[in-house]
């Protein structure tokens, strides 16, 4: 119980942090407004309905009218779908920038071979060429390496710890930028499903209310109720599936970058340790 409470608290605090950045908060607000405008004025345009009245049935095969009939949860679902796409595009741009210009694996292998052969200045030049988060961390480690390698006033153990600390500090500065707004995608994945289910329940209540009419069942009420139920389910589950796919994709990309950082950092520290032992 404690674990679930603490994980919920940590995810809500990270969601709070994401929303504090003006970008995330303004995107959410703007896209909820866009969702309502699309629902009211595009999907709800009179031209999509029998007799030009949104109160009537949608024209046969007119999906705009059918989606409008999904009710007041549709604009919320549209807003969530737009948010998913916006945050996905924003993460793609950020993570591709963090990745740098070339392939991460190739870059890390090149750094390892240069460091092991003692070509530190060439390795730093490779970092400047590569750019991005992995290169920034590696460059910080290499810069500390060149600064301390011939310094005989500090003990070798202390120097090794200083190189490690520099790599760790640069990593801790780069990582939050990569993970920012991912918690919003994870939250949308949960909320969209629940909104879909809520829409289903409300739609079924309407449908059964239509059936419960005295005398002949209200076929319009029944049809509207079922349509509301199914449309909200489709929008909610579709948005949720998209958010989960994006979330997992970005998480795996970030893991790849983290692995590259760890591998390069380990090589630098190992080589520095070996150099110090040689000097010693």
pLDDT tens for the chain, 280 residues: list them.
444 444 444 455 556 555 556 788 899 999 999 999 999 999 999 998 888 888 887 888 788 888 888 888 899 999 999 999 999 999 999 888 888 888 888 888 888 888 888 788 888 898 889 888 888 888 888 888 888 877 778 887 888 888 888 888 888 888 888 888 899 999 999 999 999 999 888 888 877 877 776 556 667 667 777 877 888 899 999 999 999 999 999 999 999 888 888 888 888 888 888 877 765 5
DSSP-derived secondary structure for 146-209: HHHTT--SS-HHHHHHHHHHHHHHHHHHHHHHHHTTHHHHHHHHHHHHHHHHHHHHHHHHHHHH
- Beta-ladder partners of 58: 49
């Amino acid at each position: 119980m404690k674990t679930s409470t603490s994980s919920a608290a940590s995810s809500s605090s990270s969601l709070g942090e994401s929303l504090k950045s003006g970008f995330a908060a303004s995107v959410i607000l703007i896209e909820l407004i866009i969702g309502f405008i699309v629902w009211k004025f595009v999907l709800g345009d009179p031209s999509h309905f029998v007799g030009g009245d949104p109160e009537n049935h949608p024209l046969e095969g007119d999906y705009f009218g059918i989606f409008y009939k999904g009710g007041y949860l549709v604009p919320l679902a549209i807003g969530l779908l737009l948010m998913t796409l916006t945050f996905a595009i924003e993460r793609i741009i950020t993570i591709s920038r963090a990745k740098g210009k070339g392939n991460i694996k190739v870059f890390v292998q090149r750094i390892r071979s240069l460091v092991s052969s003692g070509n530190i200045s060439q390795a730093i030049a490779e970092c400047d060429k590569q750019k991005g988060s992995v290169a920034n961390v590696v460059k910080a480690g290499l810069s500390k390496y060149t600064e301390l390698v011939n310094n005989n006033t500090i003990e070798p153990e202390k120097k090794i710890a200083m190189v490690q600390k520099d790599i760790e500090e640069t990593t801790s500065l780069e990582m939050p930028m990569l993970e920012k707004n991912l918690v919003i995608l994870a939250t949308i994945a949960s909320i969209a499903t629940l909104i879909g289910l809520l829409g289903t329940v409300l739609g079924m209540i309407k449908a059964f209310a239509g059936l419960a009419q005295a005398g002949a069942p209200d076929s319009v009420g029944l049809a509207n109720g079922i349509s509301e139920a199914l449309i909200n389910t489709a929008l909610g589950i579709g948005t949720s599936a998209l958010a989960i796919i994006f979330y997992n994709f970005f998480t795996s990309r970030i893991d790849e970058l983290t692995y590259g950082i760890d591998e390069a950092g380990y090589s630098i520290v190992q080589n520095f340790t070996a150099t110090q032992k040689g000097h010693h």
